[in-house]
Chains A and B, each alone.
Chain A
Amino acid sequence: MKIFLMPPNSLILYDLVERFGHEPLSLMQGLREKVTSNEIEAPPLNVTLDDVKKGLKYAGIEIPSGIRGRLAVYGPLIDQAEAAIFMEAAPYSFGCVGCQRTNELAKLLVRKRKVPILTLTYPENEEEAKSMVVRVKEFLEGLK
Chain B
Amino acid sequence: MDSNIETRLIFIAPSSDLTPDQIARFVHNMGNGVTVKETCYGAVLEGPRDDVRRTRDELRKLDPNRIFSKVRAFPVGDIRRCRAHHGSRPGFAQLEKEWKDLCLIEKGLICVEKGERPPEPRKKGKMPVTDLKKLIDEVTP
User: Residues of A with Cβ closer than 8 Å to B?
Assistant: 7, 9-12, 14-16, 18-19, 26-36, 38, 45, 90-91, 93-95, 122-123, 125-134, 137
- Among the stretches B30-38, B112-120, B132-140, the one at the interface with A is B112-120
Given A9-B91, A12-B68, A93-B94, CB of A133 within 8 Å of CB of B105: yes
B99 surroundings in chain A (CB, below 8 A): 11
8 tightest Cβ-Cβ pairs between the two chains A and B = A133-B108, A130-B118, A129-B104, A93-B93, A31-B73, A36-B1, A14-B70, A15-B68
Contact (Cβ within 8 A) B9 A11 = yes
Given A7-B94, A35-B73, CB of A130 within 8 Å of CB of B108: yes
Residue with the greatest number of chain B CB neighbours at <10 A, chosen from A123, A128, A129: A129
Contact (Cβ within 8 A) B118 A127 = yes
Q: Given contact pairs A9-B91, A133-B105, enumerate 13 new A-B contacts (beta carbons under 8 Å).
A: A7-B94, A11-B9, A12-B101, A16-B105, A38-B1, A90-B94, A93-B94, A122-B101, A123-B105, A123-B108, A130-B119, A133-B111, A134-B118
Q: How far is the CA of A122 from the CA of B124 in the complex (A)?
A: 13
Closest chain A CB from B44 CB (angstroms):
13
A–B complex contacts, Cβ < 8 Å, 20 sampled: A12-B68, A12-B105, A14-B69, A14-B71, A28-B71, A30-B73, A32-B71, A33-B3, A35-B73, A36-B73, A38-B1, A90-B94, A94-B97, A122-B101, A125-B104, A127-B118, A127-B119, A131-B120, A133-B108, A134-B111
Contact (Cβ within 8 A) B73 A28 = yes
User: Residues of B with Cβ closer than 8 Å to A?
Assistant: 1, 3, 9, 11, 68-75, 78, 80, 91, 93-95, 97-99, 101-102, 104-105, 107-109, 111-112, 116-122
Contact (Cβ within 8 A) A134 B112 = yes
Contact (Cβ within 8 A) A123 B111 = no
List the A residue with the shortest CB-CB distance to B98: A11
List the B residue with the shortest CB-CB distance to A19: B109
Q: How far is the CA of A20 from the CA of B132 in the complex (A)?
A: 43
Closest chain A CB from B74 CB (angstroms):
6
B105 surroundings in chain A (CB, below 8 A): 12, 15-16, 123, 129, 132-133
List the A residue with the shortest CB-CB distance to B8: A28
Closest chain B CB from A38 CB (angstroms):
7
Given A127-B121, A131-B118, A131-B120, CB of A15 within 8 Å of CB of B1: no
A38 surroundings in chain B (CB, below 8 A): 1
List the A residue with the shortest CB-CB distance to B75: A36
Q: How far is the CA of A18 from the CA of B102 in the complex (A)?
A: 16
List the A residue with the shortest CB-CB distance to B60: A19
Contact (Cβ within 8 A) A11 B118 = no
